[in-house]
Structure 1
Amino acid sequence: MLGLRIRRIEIYVNTNGGRFSTSIPFKDGLNIIRAENSSGKSTCINSVAYGLGLESILGPSRKRPFPKSLYEVIYDNKTEETPYFVNRSSVSISIENSNGKSAILNRDILGDDNKVSVVTDNQSSDYFLGSAGNVGSAVSEKGFHNWLASFIGWSLPNVVTFEGKETKLYLECIFPLFFIEQKRGWSEIQANSPTHYGIKNLKKSAAEFCLGIDSFEHEKKLAKLKHQIETYESDWNGLKSFSESVADFNEVKVSRLGSIDTKDLLPRIEFSYLENDVFVSVYEQKKSLKRLIDKLAIDVAQKSPGDEVLNSKLAAIRVLRRQAEECSRSIEVTMLSISDAESKLATLRHDYDQYQQLKRLRGVGSDISNNLDTEKCPICESDLYDTLGNTSTKRRPMSLDENIAFLKNQLDFFASIRDKSLRQLQDLKSEYKLVLSRMEVERESIEAHRSDLEDINGEVKTILREKIQAESLLKDVQKLKETQDELNERATSLHSSWTTTSDSLKQLKRGRSVANRALVIRKLESLIKSNLEEFGFKTSAVNSVTVSQQTLRPEQEGYDIVAETSASDYIRIIWSYTLSLMELAGAEDSVKHGGFVVFDEPRQHEASKVSFTNLITKAAQSSKYCGQVIFATSLDEEELRISCKDKEVNLVCFDEYILTLNPDTEENVKA
């Protein structure tokens, strides 16, 4: 479906000495604006994009895509160049959609440039460009791009940004497929696609929309599921960090939570207290404290003597001290082991890199035999043998590839030793910290107990204090148990959600249909090849051109064709691709197209006259399917007329500036 046709463009510039203006009509098929350089051709071409509110497709920093003659000073001719000062300028575009409905778009250039006045059925309505608060022009009922998309007959899909959010596939993202401006447009297909929207796979999404390949919802679902999975994994890692922080705050040990893709979710989050050289769970600690509290209640009633308690606590201190010493020695040994492993790894990496470099030299044809002296030991310069015992049989040491493989195995081996030692070191430090904390608690308890024994009622006070401490600890244990249960409940929920979402993602990837996609791509590929032949491509080169299933752009033997062809050839590829897309839309209702193609100076890089003449022929044939092509060129007029001979071409030529002075208009008096 071809969405629009341009029927006329008009540009007005009000000055202190009169109004400058131009009016250029357009027909179906090929329209050519011919003028010398610096006469206003690009101004006319850019006014098409500007009038449609699509100036961003003219390239970056093209918010004002016109010369100063439309903003500041304009001259009446190229010889006298009398200056006139601009006080207002505007553009008016007459358009028609595929249903035959007409509209006139009026937009200020110098003036209120964020407003577009639309005249339909002799009624004028104003629409805004840009955004109004959080609502943009493509969404709001008062937004011009929302109106324009509806006028064309398009329902713009939602696509995914790099942040995983949804946004519209804006018109500015689609029209670079149809509009090739002079400065950057010929550098590649879709050269001026805007990136500031942050849309993921922008060029591919625009091409898919035009080709009618319904994958937007599929891609959106894929992106949504991937984002959910990333969120679950992030929450899972946060849960692990939080559980370790809770353990550190409560001075307990925690079992590390496994990976989220672990099927059985083992090990679960479990906090453990160190009691008498043994780690006990929060459940066991809770039971133990309850028994202790009950016992202390009985001891208070019986006024148990305190000496036995003191001796018991002193014995516990001795046990904890021995345990701390053992942890300290183990930490020291483990750190030495890590240091030794790191040293070996550094040496192995150096040797591995050296051998890799030698292998690379050998691969490019260098003789590396001088760098591999395997006859002598590099330390003592003794002969090398394959055994330490019997030196009667001499054998050449390992080859270069064997050395590389051996060093790689050694690197993996010592890396595993280091990583295992690092994990052991972390566990030992945690245990050492817990032991020191317990020792401090026991010391404070002993000091308090000794102080109480000096009091006449010290025995009872000691028991009561211990009972109070046990009751307080029981409350802490109960809170820790509740936290543990909550964390495990959250872990179970996250694991379940992650598993379900991962399964959905796998099914969605498997369920994607490619039949319709492949058919449309084959049709586009066939049209491109046909056009390339007409534009003078070699037959062998044409046969190697395909349309990528991934990017939907032309490629040659699996590579982006821009890197594989000359500049003039790539210009012809842009011609072929752009015109093929419009021709396909003219034949297929499911394929969407803006309805017109704009080429500013299409004969780039000295494309041959024959190729350019064939381009004119092909573009003129677009009238057969109601397509429209607009050229702007500075080619010699006589040469151009010869190329257009016997062809249906609307050729509009200018010898002077395209914008001419009309000093007697009423508008000038008002200005």
Structure 2
Amino acid sequence: MSKLKIEQLSIRTSTNDGVYGVDIPFDDGLNIIHAENTHGKSTCIQSLIFALGLEGCLGPSRKVPLKTALTTQLRKANGSMATIFESKIFLQLSNGSERITVLRSSMVEKAKLVSVYRSSTIKEVLEEKCTSKDYFLRDEGSATRERGFHCFLVDFIGITLPKVMKFSGSESSLYLESAFSINYVEQTRGWGGILNILPTYLGIKDLSARIIEHTLDLEVQKHTKRKQALHQKKKDAERIWNVAVENLISTAKSCNGFVSNELDDKISKSSHVTNGSYLYVHNDNEQNSYKDRIEHLKFELQLLKARTSHNKVDEKKVAVLEEQLSQYTQLLAEQEKAITFLISDLNTSEKYTSSIELRINDVKDSLRKYKDLVRLESIGSEEEFQTDLNKCPTCHTYIEDSLLSHIQSEHTKILGLSDNIKYLEKQKEAFDALLSGEKKNTTLKQMRLAEARGKLGETRQLIRAIKDSLVDTQAAPSRIDIKRELIAENEIEKLESALQDELRIKDKLTVALCDWLTADSALAAIPHSGFSTNDWKKLKTLKYSFVENLDEFGYSSNSLSDFEISHTSYKPTLNDIDINSEASASDNIRVIWSYLYSVLTLDVKSSLPTNHLGLLIMDEPRQQEAKNESFSTFISKAASVKNMQKQIIIGTSEKYSDLLDTIERKPVNLMHFDSDIIKKLS
């Protein structure tokens, strides 16, 4: 089924001799524009491409790619020349559910402008019964921005163009100019081979193969990208695992310990993360886990404190300690309350910062849209751009445009595009300044919170020390016992801190291992060749259809049984060599016919979906004096696509009587012109 159907081409050329033009309707199936050479046949074919903004598929030139008959002068009926002021190309399109008309001018100053009339026919547009919306073309953002024509056209057609690699190493869209190369064969260079003309200036690697992969909707394209992504995911997981292991080793060394051999240095399928601890210390020629060492130290600490205890209690000391405990407990409560307020205040600041950033993004989006409108205005758009006068440009709330809304003012001044841009730029500057100030404020609050938490920790340590002192209220113990207690407490603190660090590190190890195993499993599920079952079926069907067509078209340069479809270029090969170099000139034309027709009809032949637009445009397909019998067979094949709801448009200067014999009793829409196609309109 066709994703893009051309319903009508209309040309209106304003000259010093009045208005010239033509209306050419198109149907499903085969459409033939027939005229003698120099009568405007190729001009009409080029106009189709020009109206779609797809002249980029022929090269990087920014010149208007129309013949002189639409740009400078055209031949009048008496043979003299008329001077052209402007030519307007109207093209009526359908995607199966909606009809649009696009308009593009031949004027150099309007070369980047396309007007789109939604749900409108050319007849309605010419009668000025509908309004248009303007889009820009062949400029940065034309394939991605809301007002870019190819962004609109891709959405209208209903296709998704894949991301492909460029020679620079970056990614880009395949772009419609590239993808359309398989739908159009230009008259002069286009018949030099399959996809002989490509927009190589876009810098896309293996462009021909990427176009065919996309057109055939091969899953190998997705599998290749999927493999790359999964391999990268494994590498990232391995890097995280290695860093985590190194961090755990450093943590162990900080406590004079080591990491158990249970933990693998390198991640693998057999790797696992234990529920227990990996951290151990050497103690009296024994290996003890950090947890066991902590328990041992705590036991020793209890013995030391018990040994320094006496029966006689210092009552004065108890009273002082209890008073201090009360004071510090009260201070702790106040500090915790203060921290609660600081956290709340910090959360408020962070939310406010996020809201400012959101507003800045909204302003940037509005600014971008207004600049696109200015760009359209600069390339000749006459559209009356409507700004939403009842909507706040910042928060998008609907508002009255006057405090006295019931009074109509005739002198109310509406901001123009440039004024709106200046206003939005000033607004962005204000928000940027506000954001900068709020970020500084947030940083200051974070510092205050960190400082408060530090003081809170000190207070808690003092309270613990007072409570410990209340247990031992007698005379001071010996200095050696105090030293031992401090050493034990310090080691316990370091070991407990190390165990906390280990928990965080093990979380990273677990995540890294999970990611690695998931990616490894997904890689194993991808076919080794990258081709899915459906891919193989499509390639097999493509080969069968191609060879069958070659046979019917009379190919004779080589044995048909030796042909293959390359699994890298997806083009026909003979003994792994491009067949164009192995065949006669006329047989090369048969190869192009066969291949493009096979790709066009592959979804029908294979019963599998493709991304083909269902449209094929060919200018002078009978090249190199291909036999009339071969051309007749090709026309018969082309006419059969009507039943497939596809469309082929051909421009030809074949002998008219021969052409009539060829299409006899075939469902063909023939548009024959005895003289110049573009004529003066009455």
Instruction: Give the TM-score range, shorter chain.
Output: 0.5 to 0.7
Name 1:647's counterpart in structure 2. Answer: 662
Superposed, 1:409-448 pairs within 5 Å as: none
Contact 1:11–1:22, Cα closer than 8 Å, also in 2: yes
- Between the aligned partners of 1:98 and 1:616, the Cα distance in structure 2 is 30
Work out which of the residue numbers 575, 597, 619 in structure 1 matches 2:616: 597
Q: CA offsets per residue over residues 625-655 of structure 1, 9 Å max, x none?
A: 426543446xxx6x74475362238465687
CA contact (8 A) 1:7 1:26 kept: yes
Partner in structure 1 of residue 60 of structure 2: 61
Provide the residue aligned with 2:593 in structure 1: 575
Secondary structure of the corresponding residue to residue 647 of structure 1: helix
Are residues 31 and 83 of structure 1, via their aligned partners in 2, closer, same or farther at CA, if it must alter by over 3 Å? closer
Q: Is the 8 A contact 2:563 2:574 kept in 1?
A: yes
What is the CA distance between 1:577 and its match in structure 2?
A: 0.9
Assess if the C-alpha contact under 8 Å between 1:104 and 1:120 holds in 2.
yes
Cα deviation 1:497-539 (Å, max 9, x = unaligned) = 4334533553464999977665655554343223323444226
Map residues 150-161 of structure 1 onto 2, 5 A cutoff: 156=159
**What's the offset of the Cα at 1:176?**
2.9
Superposed CA RMSD in Å reads 5.5
Q: What is the deviation of 1:14?
A: 4.2
Shift, 1:74, TM fit: 0.8
Q: Paired residue for 1:392?
A: none
Q: Distance in 2 between matches of 1:186 and 1:474?
A: 83
Could you tell me how far apart the structure 2 residues matched to 1:519 and 1:224 are? 21
3-state secondary structure, aligned to 2:9 = strand
Q: Distance in 2 between matches of 1:603 and 1:22?
A: 25
Tell me if 1:630 matches 2:649. yes
Distance verdict in 2 for CA 1:619–1:61, change over 3 Å: same
Amino acid corresponding to residue 267 of structure 2 in structure 1: I
**Structure 2 match to 1:202:** 210
Counterpart amino acid of 1:106? L
**TM-score normalized by structure 1?**
0.55
Inter-partner Cα distance in structure 2 for 1:463 and 1:184: 97
Matched, 1:29 2:38: no
Residue 233 of structure 2 aligns with which residue? 231
Partner of 1:240: 242
* Aligned 8 A contact 1:239 1:487 in 2: no
The gaps in structure 1 that reach 5 residues or longer are 150-155, 210-214, 303-458, 666-671
Identify the residue that residue 333 of structure 1 maps to in structure 2. Answer: none
- How many pairs align? 481
| Structure 2 Cα separation of the partners of residues 170 and 300 of structure 1 | 83
Matching residue's letter, 2:216: E
Alignment partner of 2:72: what SS? strand
| Structure 1: distance between partners of 2:556 and 2:31 | 26
Amino acid at match of 2:591: I
Contact 2:101 2:120 in 1 (8 A): yes
Relative distance call for 1:282 and 1:173 in structure 2 (3 A) is: farther
- Equivalents in 1 of 2:604, 2:30: separation in Å? 12
Structure 1 position 189 matched with structure 2 position 194: yes
Give the whole-Å Cα distance in 2 for the aligned partners of 1:562 and 1:292.
89
Structure 1 residue 91 and structure 2 residue 107: aligned?
no
Match 2:634 to one of 618, 637, 658: 618
Q: CA deviation at 1:594?
A: 3.6
Provide closer, same or farther for how the CA distance between residues 176 and 487 of structure 1 changes in structure 2, counting only shifts above 3 A.
Answer: same
Distance 1:162 1:60 in 2: 20
What is the CA deviation profile of residues 258-315 of structure 1, one whole-angstrom value per residue up to 9, with x for unaligned ones?
333231438999456688999876446645655675677689889xxxxxxxxxxxxx
TM alignment of 1:92-131, pairs within 5 A: 92-95=90-93, 104-110=101-107, 111=110, 113-120=113-120, 124=130, 126=132
1:262 maps to amino acid: K
The aligned counterpart of 1:74 is 72
- Residue 259 in structure 1 maps to residue 266 in structure 2: yes
Counterpart amino acid of 1:208? L
Counterpart contact for 1:137–1:146, Cα < 8 Å: no
User: Which residue of the partner structure matches residue 180 of structure 1?
Assistant: 185
Cα pair distance change 1:462/1:281, threshold 3 Å: same
| TM-aligned CA distance change 1:49 to 1:564, over 3 Å | same
Distance 1:512 1:227, change over 3 A: closer
Instruction: Classify 1:273/1:185 alpha carbon distance in 2 versus 1 (closer, same or farther; 3 Å).
Output: farther
- Verify the 8 A CA contact 2:30 2:638 in the aligned structure 1: yes
Secondary structure, counterpart of 1:610 in structure 2: coil
Residue identity over aligned pairs, in percent, reads: 20
Provide closer, same or farther for how the CA distance between residues 263 and 576 of structure 1 changes in structure 2, counting only shifts above 3 A. Answer: same
Correspondence for 1:554 = 572
| Counterpart amino acid of residue 619 in structure 2 | D
2: distance between equivalents of 1:542 and 1:525? 11
Please name the residue that 1:331 is paired with. Answer: none
SS in 2 for 1:646: helix
- Give the C-alpha shift of residue 166 in structure 1: 12
Which residues of 2 match residues 70-469 of structure 1 at below 5 A? 74-77=72-75, 84=83, 86=85, 88-95=86-93, 104-110=101-107, 111=110, 113-120=113-120, 124=130, 126=132, 143-149=152-158, 156=159, 174-182=179-187, 185-186=190-191, 188-190=193-195, 192=198, 202-209=210-217, 216=219, 227-228=229-230, 230-245=232-247, 247-248=249-250, 251-252=253-254, 257-265=264-272, 270=278, 282-283=290-291, 286=294, 290=298, 464=482, 467-468=485-486
Counterparts in 2 of 1:280 and 1:590: CA distance versus 1, 3 Å? closer
Report if the CA contact (8 A) 2:238-2:512 is conserved. Answer: yes
Hey, what's the Cα distance between the residues in 1 that align with 2:287 and 2:506?
20
Tell me if structure 1 keeps the 8 A contact 2:241–2:509: yes
CA distance in 2, matches of 1:134, 1:460: 79
Match of 1:489 among 484, 507, 511: 507
The gaps in structure 2 that reach 5 residues or longer are: 311-476
Per-residue displacement from partner, 1:419-454 (whole Å, max 9, x unpaired)? xxxxxxxxxxxxxxxxxxxxxxxxxxxxxxxxxxxx
- Maintained 8 Å contact 2:237/2:515: no
Could you tell me how far 1:473 is from its partner in structure 2? Answer: 4.5
Shift of 1:35: 5.8
Alpha carbons of structure 1 residues 617 and 270: separation in structure 2 relative to 1, 3 Å: same
Is contact 2:552–2:633 with CA below 8 Å preserved after alignment? no
For the structure 1 residues 271 and 570, does the alpha-carbon distance in structure 2 shift closer, same or farther, using more than 3 Å as the test?
Answer: farther
Query: Is 2:476 the partner of 1:477?
Result: no
Pick closer, same or farther for the CA change 1:185–1:103 going to 2, 3 Å: same
Q: Give the match for residue 316 of structure 1.
A: none
Partner Cα separation in structure 1 for residue 555 and residue 247 of structure 2: 68
**Residue type matched to 1:61 in 2?**
P
**Structure 1 position 234, deviation (Å):** 0.5
Contact 1:30 1:620 in 2 (8 A): no
Q: Contact 1:271 / 1:282 at 8 angstroms: preserved in 2?
A: yes
- Give me the whole-angstrom Cα distance separating, in 2, the residues matched to 1:245 and 1:584: 56
SS at match of 1:259: coil
Residue in 1 aligned with 2:10?
10
Is the contact made by 1:107 and 1:116 (CA closer than 8 Å) also made in structure 2? no
Other structure's SS at 2:10 match: strand
- Give the match's secondary structure for 2:198: coil
Shift of the alpha carbon at 1:16? 7.3
Opposite residue 479 of structure 1, the aligned amino acid is: S
Alpha-carbon distance in 2 for matches of 1:75, 1:13: 10
How much does 1:146 deviate? 2.7
Asked if structure 2 preserves the Cα contact closer than 8 Å seen for 1:34 and 1:653, the reply is yes
Distance 1:289 1:614, change over 3 A: same
The alpha-carbon distance between structure 1 residues 158 and 630, as it changes in their structure 2 partners (threshold 3 A), is closer
1:596 to partner: Cα distance:
3.7
Alpha-carbon offset, residue 582 of structure 1: 3.8
How far off its partner does 1:231 sit?
2.2
Deviation at residue 47 of structure 1 after TM alignment = 2.3
Output the TM-score relative to the length of structure 2. 0.54
Q: Deviations over 1:359-391 (max 9, x none)?
A: xxxxxxxxxxxxxxxxxxxxxxxxxxxxxxxxx
Q: What is the rounded CA distance, in whole Å, between the counterparts of 2:637 and 2:20 in structure 1?
A: 34
